[in-house]
Every structure is written in C-alpha cells, then in structure tokens.
Amino acid sequence: MTRPDRICVGAIAGSFGVQGEVRLKSFCAAPEAIAEYGPLWTEDGARSFTIKLTRAAVSGGLGARLSGVATKEQADALKGVQLFADRDRLPALPDDEFYHADLIGLTAQDAGGAILGKVRAVHNHGAGDLLEIFGPGQKTALLVPFTRAVVPTVDLAAGRIVVDLPEDVE
C-alpha cells in the first residue's frame, strides 16, 4: 500500500543494455528532475534506490543506474515497478496545479451540489489530463477533462471538486 506522504514520480520501463542500466519513464514536469528527489521507493516501501541518470533514451525515456542493480537480469526484474518520492522532497506547486495523488479520492459534485462520485484515477493519453469519476449506480466511469472550464473548483481541504458538465453529458 502506498504511503500518503509519497508521490509516484516514475516507473521502470525495462533494462537498458547489458550492464544493469534501466529505462526510466519520468512523470516529472522536467523529466531529469526525477534524480533529484531520491531516494525513490517501490510502491510497498520495501526497496529504495538512488538514481544516477546516464543518458536520454529512445522514445523520451531516460537511461539510469539504480543502487543495488548491477545486472541485466536484475534490471529486467524491475520492469513495471513504479517509483515514489517522499512528498517533502518534491517542489511546492502553484495554486492551480495539483499532484495526481491529491486528486484521487476527492468527491466530485456537479454545480448544483449533487454527488457524481469519487475521482478514481487521473489519465493522460497525450491531450491533457482526464479525471475518472466513478459513483454508486454507475456501470461505467465518467471521464472528464481536467480543465478549469470543466472543473472550476478543486478544494483539497474539503476533499471535493466541482464538475461543470457540458449539457450533452449525463
């Protein structure tokens, strides 16, 4: 179980070469900043790694060396592992930016105060963030763009967001 004081900042995409380097996918605004937030932890907190970036990799990833990883086999075994940084190592965000982890679990209400559900996930397929909202009685999740026009209010202290759905969405 992920600790609430840790934020997912990247994932290991596989091995890079034959000497224990990994391909690293950074979720940071400046991808190289991932190396500044260490040590980075596995989701369960059982392992931690210091990271030394070695190169920009093909397809936007990074090549890196992780402490305790010396062979291709060890690097291969970490494929898909998400990496978490302690929240207090991350920069403070401007008022209109949020860590995805802070949005997940918030109650979503429409402009009239009716509960739509809870934010279950935040997705980004290249065209901006989408909030996945799932509520009681829903068969499928509601996906809404995370824009100021559609989500004019994010109140972390109250644990809610206000969603102004377009009229054609039910």
Shared-domain flag, residues 77 and 56: yes
CB 53 within 8 Å of CB 44: no
pLDDT in tens, 120-131: 998 877 778 899
The answer on pLDDT for 49 being more than 90 is yes
For residue 30, what pLDDT is reported? 83
32 and 74 assigned to the same domain: yes
- Residues in Cβ contact with 79 at an 8 Å cutoff, skipping those fewer than 6 apart: 12, 13, 14, 15
* DSSP, residue by residue, 143-160: EEE-STTT--EEETTTTE
pLDDT of the residue at 57: 60
pTM over 0.85: no
Task: Specify the CATH number for the domain of residue 145.
Answer: 2.30.30.240
Residue-wise pLDDT tens digits, 79-126: 999 999 998 888 888 888 888 888 999 999 998 899 999 999 988 777
Q: Going by C-beta distance under 8 Å and a sequence separation of 6 or more, which residues neighbour residue 157?
A: none
Range of the domain at 83: 6-89
Domain final position from 70, 89, 108:
89
* Of residues 158, 114, 109, 157, the one with CA closest to residue 131: 109
